[in-house]
Amino acid sequence: MDIIASRTRIFGAAPRYSYRALVPLDQIDPARRHRVAILHVQTRRGRLPCTRIADTIAPDRWFERNLAVPCGLAARLNLVGRRVEAILLRSVFPEMVTHLAPLALLLDHDPGSAVHPIATIDLNAAFDAIAPRIDTLMAADLDLHQGAARHAA
């Protein structure tokens, strides 16, 4: 599965960045595409429709919202999604050292905005396989080779 990893500078004097790992819509199981939130990321080839990691890994029961919220799935799905996103981002951006993907990260230098494609395992409906081992999940579990695709900040 292909993922788009991005680092976007947030306006202001301090070098503060937003990091996102998004899944291109064409990588999502066709039966799920109409159920996910659509975001757009600017790539070299133009704007690409994508969705979030959490929407990609969500189990089918997530889309039955009546069951998802009462059983506590929303919080757990968000946590697992942010952890997977941090692992994906860390495989590309060496400055990403947080355990969970932050909303914004203040850096001591200004590397500039960047967008990079990365490949990983198929994450469609992978929540039930990933969630039980989220505390020990590593880049190799996602078929990422840290260092191979890292881009200097």
> Which two tokens mark 26?
């064409």
Asked whether the beta carbons of 140 and 120 are under 8 A apart, the reply is no
pLDDT-derived band at 46 (thresholds 50, 70, 90) equals confident
pTM of the model: 0.85
Residue 125 gets which letter from DSSP?
A: T
Query: In terms of pLDDT, which residue wins out, 74 or 142?
Result: 142
Q: Rounded mean pLDDT of 43-49?
A: 86
Q: How many CB atoms lie within 10 A of CB 1?
A: 17
Report the alpha-carbon distance of residue 131 to residue 77 in Å, rounded: 8
